[in-house]
């Protein structure tokens, strides 16, 4: 990687780390410890750690394993989900959501992390089979949230679910449909999000392939 690209990558990683840290801190100020029960915060922590380790690996000037790039790929798609769900699902159904904490954790961190992925991962050999790994973080979180629902954990506002589409007790239930929110049952939401992630994974690999030719 050229010196110019390295400096840009350091800068992007720094933005991710700082924005995620400030965003998490501001969210915790508003919501308390339950903020860490949300995929938003968990994915921000994950991508910040990935960027911090990535900066160290970049500084070491040693060859970086393909396994690392797959891990970064999974983290990048996870934070993409965070941004996409907020911007296209949660924000349109909420009010007063465009506050600093939400902008940092749902917009700035995802966009910067995605940019850094495409800047650094062109030297990787991520296969199409690796796309299935992107379903792991949200699947684990869906199980975690399901346990929370059954155990009646207190998420923000005292609710026993983190997001409206993970509310097993909604009018749509597990497999139903409604004219209003949540529109469809939790199982359908989970399946839709997993399909979305797989499509995003293939899209990112296609973009990487094109970038390698430039």
DSSP per residue, 21-75:
HHHHHHHHHHHGGGGGGSHHHHHHHHHHHHHHHHHHHHHHTPPPPHHHHHHHHHH
Per-residue pLDDT, averaged over 158-170, amounts to 96
The predicted pLDDT at position 63 comes to 82
Q: What are the residue ranges spanned by the domains of the chain?
A: 3-212
Residue 1 has pLDDT above 80, yes or no: no
The predicted pLDDT at position 105 comes to 97
Which residues make beta-bridge pairs with 184?
177
pLDDT > 90 fraction of the chain, expressed in percent and rounded: 85
For 61-156, where are the alpha helices, taking DSSP H only? 66-85, 100-103, 109-120, 136-151
- pLDDT tens sequence across 165-210: 999 999 999 999 999 999 999 999 999 999 999 999 999 999 999 9
Lowest mean pLDDT among 11-25, 59-73, 134-148: 59-73
Q: What is the Cα–Cα distance from 147 to 88, expressed in whole angstroms?
A: 26
- pLDDT tens sequence across 45-101: 999 999 999 999 988 887 889 999 999 999 999 999 999 999 998 888 776 789 999
SS3 content of the chain, % helix, strand, coil (to 5): 80, 0, 20
Residue 113 has pLDDT above 90, yes or no: yes
155-163, long-range: CB within 8 Å, 24+ apart, which pairs? 155/34, 155/37, 155/38, 156/31, 156/34, 156/35, 156/38, 162/37, 162/38, 162/39, 163/38, 163/39, 163/85, 163/90
Q: What is the Cα–Cα distance from 24 to 202, expressed in whole angstroms?
A: 29
Q: Are the beta carbons of 46 and 171 closer than 8 angstroms? A: no
């Amino acid at each position: 990687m050229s010196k110019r690209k390295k400096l840009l990558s350091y800068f992007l990683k720094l933005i991710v780390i700082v924005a995620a840290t400030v965003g998490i801190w501001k969210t915790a100020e508003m919501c308390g410890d339950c903020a860490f029960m949300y995929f938003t915060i968990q994915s921000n922590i994950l991508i910040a750690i990935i960027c911090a380790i990535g900066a160290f690996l970049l500084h070491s000037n040693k060859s970086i394993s393909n396994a690392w790039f797959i891990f970064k790929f999974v983290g990048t798609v996870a934070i993409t989900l965070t941004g996409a769900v907020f911007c296209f699902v949660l924000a349109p159904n909420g009010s007063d959501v465009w506050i600093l904490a939400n902008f940092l954790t749902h917009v700035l961190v995802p966009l910067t992390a995605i940019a850094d992925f495409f800047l650094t991962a062109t030297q990787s050999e991520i296969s199409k089979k690796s796309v299935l790994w992107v379903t792991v973080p949200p699947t684990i979180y869906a199980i975690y949230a399901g346990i929370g629902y059954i155990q009646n954990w207190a998420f923000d506002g005292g609710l026993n679910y983190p997001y409206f589409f993970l509310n097993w007790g909604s009018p749509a239930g597990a497999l139903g449909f409604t004219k209003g929110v949540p529109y469809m049952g939790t199982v359908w939401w989970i399946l839709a999000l997993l399909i979305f992630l797989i499509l995003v994974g293939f899209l990112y690999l296609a973009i990487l392939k094109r970038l390698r030719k430039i």
